Structures are given as C-alpha cells and as structure tokens.
C-alpha cells in the first residue's frame, strides 16, 4: 500500500518522479466505452484528467495551505478505461476532494455508520475485502493515486460495497481541516513508504506531530492499526506510538496479525523475500 501524507511540519515534494500524466490508451481498449471514459484516460500532457469536475482534482487543496515536506506525490499514471469509467460515474457520490475548505459530515456521508480512516490504500483490494467483511463500518480511504482510486471505486461498485468512500489528496489537511474532533472510530495505515535512507526519515508518516493531530480526531476506544515489513520503521512506529499519551498498546510490543487485515499481494511479495511483517495495535484512551 502506498503512503499518503507526511508530518504536519515537513516541507518539500516527494523525491520520486514528478507527476505523470496518463499516456494514450490503445484504440482496442477504448472501443465501446464511450468518449467520456476515453477522454478521462487519455488527457493531453498538461491537461486536467477530469476537466468537468466529475473526477478527482489534480491539486484539490491548491496553494492555500502551507508548504511542507510530504511523503507522497500525486501519481496520475495510466488510468484504464474501467478505472476512468468508475471515477466518472461514482466520484460524484462516493468521492471527495480534500480541499480543506469545509468540515465533512461523516454521518451524512456514511449514512450513520462508524467511520475508519485508511491512509494509503494502493489499488484498494485489501480495502474492499475489509469493507465486505464488515459492512457495519464505513471506510474513508485516502490516497493520491488516481488509478488506485478508480480501481477501488470499481471494486466497491462490482461487489455492492456501499460503505466505502474515497478521499483524494493530503491526509494531513483532511485530518486538520475537514474532520471534527472525536469523529473517527479508527485509523489504519498499512505498509507506508519506509523512506529507508536516513536523510529521508523526516518524510515518514508516523511521527509525533502526525499522531498528536490524528489522535484528536479519534473517538475514545478508537483503534489505531499500523503494519510494515520494514524492521527499522517498525521500531520507529512502536516508539512513536508508545510515546503518545492518548494511546495505549493492546499488546506488549508488536501485535499478532489480526484476522481482519487481509494478506495483500504486496505483503506476500515481501514475505517471499524473507521480510518480517509487524502489526501494531493501539487504542485511544477514554481520557
């Protein structure tokens, strides 16, 4: 799964490749899908992917928020016709651009379900599995990867999952500007970018400043669940989570992998390489 934002005090764009625009889609792939799906998947270089506002914006928060180091970069890589079609049809009701301009009414957005925020969901397969296994919980899935957003919406529609909503943009702005205190029933961060080089550790998501913000949005008893297959990052996660006074560890150290977290393709590849996956389960204290 891909990581989304960095700490509230971080300051520069991701060191990865600059934002990519979707290339041409082969004509045989586009046949029968209509001009809207084709145009969404094949914008001209520099042109917005969804100029009519029917899909996620390229930069929803614009420049009205402070500069800081982010651990993510919007990645508008190749969007398939199926993904583009799902974005156009489902985004108006199941999508949300993180513009930082107003609070989200989670009760209205999720029809009264308790809501868990998932930051960084990759292509969305695990998110869809968790939503199917627990239809009584809403999942607000936040990422900046347009193909993944489209894929998750397609999975949700195909499997009749009405408890998924997709948020596009910076999760720091989402937490700080758009979610009310105590409004979340949980927080999930699975396999965030470990930024292994020492000079890049400041880009890691799990930092004291991030947790100080995120925990204010958690209701008492809310579960914080992190997972990583990068040992040094697991150690940092455990240290930072343990030092947050509003959280308590549900285990003495790392947690056994809970049944509700699916085994992802990404995780399986890591296990095949001999990586050890660490889960961390913490709970928001009542006071």
Q: Which residues are catalytic, by number? A: 193
Percent of the chain residues past pLDDT 70, beyond the cut:
77
Q: Where are the domains of the chain?
A: 94-284
Q: State the pTM of this model.
A: 0.81
Would the annotation count 134 as a binding residue?
A: no
- Say if residue 202 carries a ligand binding annotation: no
Strand 115-119 relative to strand 278-284, pairing: unpaired
For residue 106, what are its two tokens?
């989670």
The answer to whether the annotation marks 177 as part of a ligand binding site is no
CA 128 to CA 149: how far, in whole Å? 12
Residues 14-37, mean pLDDT to the nearest whole number:
32
Mean per-residue pLDDT of the chain: 82
The first and second tokens of residue 67, run together, are: 């500069």
Question: Would the pLDDT of 41 be above 50?
Answer: no
Q: Quote the longest CA-to-CA distance of the chain.
A: 59
Range 11-33 average pLDDT: 32
Count Cβ atoms below 10 Å from residue 46 Cβ, excluding itself: 6
Task: Write down the pLDDT at residue 14.
Answer: 35
97 is in an annotated binding site: no
Percentage of residues in the chain having pLDDT higher than 90: 66
Summarize pLDDT for 61-96 with one digit per residue, the tens: 775 555 555 545 555 568 899 999 999 999 999 999
> Does 42 count as an annotated binding residue?
no
Report d(CA 196, CA 133) in Å as an integer: 33
pLDDT tens-digit series, residues 218-271: 999 999 999 999 999 999 999 999 999 999 999 999 999 999 999 887 788 888
Residue 222's region, left for phi above 0, alpha for psi from -120 to 50, else beta, is beta
Q: Domain 94-284 falls in which CATH fold? A: Rossmann fold (3.40.50)
**DSSP string across 233-274:** HHHHHHHHHHH-TTEEESSSSSBPPPTTS---HHHHHHHHTT
């Amino acid at each position: 799964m891909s990581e989304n934002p960095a700490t509230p005090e971080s300051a520069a764009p991701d060191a990865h490749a600059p934002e990519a625009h979707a290339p041409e889609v082969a004509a045989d792939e586009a046949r029968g899908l209509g001009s809207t799906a084709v145009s969404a998947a094949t914008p001209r270089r520099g042109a917005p992917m969804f100029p009519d506002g029917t899909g996620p914006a390229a930069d929803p928060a614009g420049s009205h928020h402070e500069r800081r180091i982010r651990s993510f970069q919007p990645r508008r890589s190749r969007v398939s016709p199926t993904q583009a079609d799902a974005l156009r049809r489902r985004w108006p009701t199941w999508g949300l651009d993180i513009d930082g301009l107003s609070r989200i009414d989670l009760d209205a957005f999720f029809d009264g379900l308790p809501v868990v925020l998932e930051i960084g969901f990759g292509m969305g397969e695990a998110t869809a599995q968790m939503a199917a296994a627990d239809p009584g919980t809403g999942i607000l899935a936040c990422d900046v990867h347009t193909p993944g957003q489209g894929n998750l919406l397609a999975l949700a529609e195909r499997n009749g999952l009405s408890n998924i909503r997709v948020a596009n943009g910076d999760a720091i702005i989402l937490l700080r500007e758009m979610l009310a205190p105590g409004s979340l029933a949980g927080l999930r961060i699975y396999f965030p970018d470990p930024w292994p080089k020492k000079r890049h550790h400041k880009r890691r998501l799990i930092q004291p400043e991030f947790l100080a913000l995120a925990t204010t949005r958690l209701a008492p008893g809310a579960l914080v669940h992190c997972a990583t297959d990068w040992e040094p990052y697991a150690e940092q996660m455990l240290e930072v989570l343990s030092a947050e006074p509003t959280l308590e560890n549900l285990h003495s150290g790392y947690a056994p992998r809970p049944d509700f977290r699916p085994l992802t393709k990404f995780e399986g590849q890591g296990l095949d390489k001999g990586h050890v996956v660490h889960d961390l389960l913490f709970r928001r204290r009542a006071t």
